[in-house]
Amino acid sequence: MKKNGIINSELVRVIAEMGHKDGLTIADCGLPIPEKVERVDLSLTKGYPKFLEILKAVLNDLVVEKAILAAEIKEKSPKLEAEIIKMLPDIEIEYIPHTEFKKETNNSRAVVRSGEIIPYANIILISGVDF
């Protein structure tokens, strides 16, 4: 049995398989997930689990060198954006239009679906290296 950290077997496997520059998307419950991208569905009900809870757990297990957010988060969900920025000190954050964000998820190793209902509660984490 795994001692600590993420215990969802699918998510642990995806993170362990990631290499430098691979993308992992954490999404709200409404983001379309591309058919050819692996889905790790953690959603249970609308609002649970929270996007930030999943992000925090993933950041404890994954080396991240860059994050991508939809530019619309600045206007539609500024409190969420501020929380995300706090969780990503010293990590480059790129903003792109939501339509481009949805296309960019095609390049992710997987999309982790939360139960979040806050608008634009989506992020693509680009993996780094720890050496």
* 28 known ligand binder: yes
How many angstroms separate the first and last alpha carbons of the chain? Answer: 27
Please name the residue that has the structure tokens 């999404």: 27
Q: What is the 3-state secondary structure (H, E, C) of 5-63?
A: CCCCHHHHHHHHHCCCCCEEEEECCCCCCCCCCEEEECCCECCECCHHHHHHHHHHHCC
* 107 known ligand binder: no
Active site residue 1: no
Please name the residue that has the structure tokens 């992992």: 24
* 41 known ligand binder: no
Catalytic residue among 5, 9, 13, 20: 20
* 106 known ligand binder: no
Tokens of 33: 């997930």
* 95 known ligand binder: no
Beta-carbon contacts of 1 under 8 Å, excluding residues fewer than 6 positions away, are none
Binding residues for substrate: 28, 98, 120-122
Binding residues: 28, 98, 120-122
Catalytic sites, residue numbers: 20
